[in-house]
């Protein structure tokens, strides 16, 4: 079922788009946009729910202060608050799970296509639909700008033995930071409230928010050092489109203070 419903369609779509464009990098960008469009019905409600949770953050902080010594009453009060505002705190779980599944399938699809050579083209043809079968001497163009899509997006400077992250790897991480920051417009307010709470519970929550903001981009860079840059290109386009979608849902959000500091917003 995994191969029939996800893996095989992804491989065939990549090969079809590669045949149309003549470049596998363009095919990766196109399939990423298609995936993003297909996920909009799932991701848009979850982004709206996340935005709603941020709007009711001040009320949530009042409940934390009111029921600081009773976790059960706090949990009930929080659920009542969610119900009152029509918020489902678990709304973002399903899109995240689906994205992880698609990422795994894409990694396998990239490996299948990118490792295909003249000797192994028959293996690729085994999972291609009849109208997409490739000739035995088919060559897939895996160059996209400076990238060799079969290799990690890294480079070495003269005299330096260790590798540095390439442009798209850095851009993918930055796009994730921007998207995550836009989803956290109430961070500064929560930090101010944290200073007033005696038990410092908000300090822990705020610190975790800040850590998560940079943890996933850092993981992207670390993992990107090992994965083919085709996957990094996918991460970049996907993260950039996520930030764009987030902007239309909640505006600049938590990114606004940063933009003001660098004089890009008044």
Nearest Cα residue to 206 out of 89, 24, 79, 57: 57
Q: How confident is the model at residue 29 (pLDDT cuts 50, 70, 90)?
A: very high
Residue 252 in tokens: 């600049």
- By CB neighbour count within 10 A (0-12 exposed, 13-18 middle, 19+ buried), where does 199 fall? exposed
Residue 157 in tokens: 């400077």
CA quadruple 56, 215, 155, 18: dihedral positive or negative?
negative
Predicted local confidence at residue 92, as pLDDT: 58
Is the confidence at residue 170, as pLDDT, over 80? Answer: yes
CA distance 225 to 114: 17
Q: How confident is the model at residue 217 (pLDDT cuts 50, 70, 90)?
A: confident
CA distance 83 to 64: 17
Among 93-97, 209-213, 245-249, where is mean pLDDT lowest? Answer: 209-213
CA distance 163 to 87: 45
What angle, 0 to 180 degrees and rounded to 10, lies between the N-to-C axes of helices 167-182 and 201-224? 160
Predicted local confidence at residue 188, as pLDDT: 46
Percentage of the residues of the chain whose pLDDT score is greater than 70: 77
Residue 145 in tokens: 């700008």
Do residues 99 and 39 lie in contact, with contact meaning Cβ atoms separated by under 8 Å? Answer: yes
Question: What predicted TM-score, i.e. pTM, was given to this entire model?
Answer: 0.76
Task: Tell me the pLDDT tens digit for each residue of 33-77.
Answer: 998 888 888 777 777 766 677 777 778 778 878 777 777 888 888
CA distance 55 to 49: 10
């Amino acid at each position: 079922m995994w191969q029939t419903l996800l893996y095989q369609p992804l491989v065939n779509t990549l090969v079809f788009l590669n045949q149309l464009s003549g470049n596998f990098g363009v095919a990766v960008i196109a399939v990423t946009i298609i995936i993003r469009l297909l996920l909009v019905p799932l991701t848009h409600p979850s982004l709206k729910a996340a935005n709603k949770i941020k709007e009711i953050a001040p009320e949530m902080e009042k409940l934390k202060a009111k029921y600081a010594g009773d976790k059960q009453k706090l949990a009930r009060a929080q659920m009542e608050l969610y119900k009152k505002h029509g918020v489902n705190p678990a709304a973002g779980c399903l899109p995240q799970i689906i994205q992880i599944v698609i990422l795994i399938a894409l990694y396998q699809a990239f490996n299948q296509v990118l490792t295909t050579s003249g000797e192994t083209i028959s293996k690729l043809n085994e999972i291609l639909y009849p109208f997409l079968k490739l000739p035995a001497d088919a060559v897939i163009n895996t160059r996209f700008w400076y990238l060799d899509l079969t290799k990690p997006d890294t480079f070495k400077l003269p005299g330096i033995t260790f590798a540095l992250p390439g442009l798209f790897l850095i851009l993918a991480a930055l796009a994730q930071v921007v998207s995550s920051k836009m989803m956290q417009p109430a961070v500064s307010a929560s930090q101010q409230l944290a200073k007033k709470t005696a038990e410092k519970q908000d300090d822990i929550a705020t610190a975790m928010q800040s850590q998560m903001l940079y943890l996933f981009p850092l993981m992207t860079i670390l993992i990107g050092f090992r994965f083919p840059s085709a996957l990094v290109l996918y991460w970049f386009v996907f993260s950039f489109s996520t930030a764009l979608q987030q902007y239309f849902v909640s505006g600049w959000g938590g990114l606004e203070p940063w933009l003001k500091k660098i004089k890009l917003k008044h």
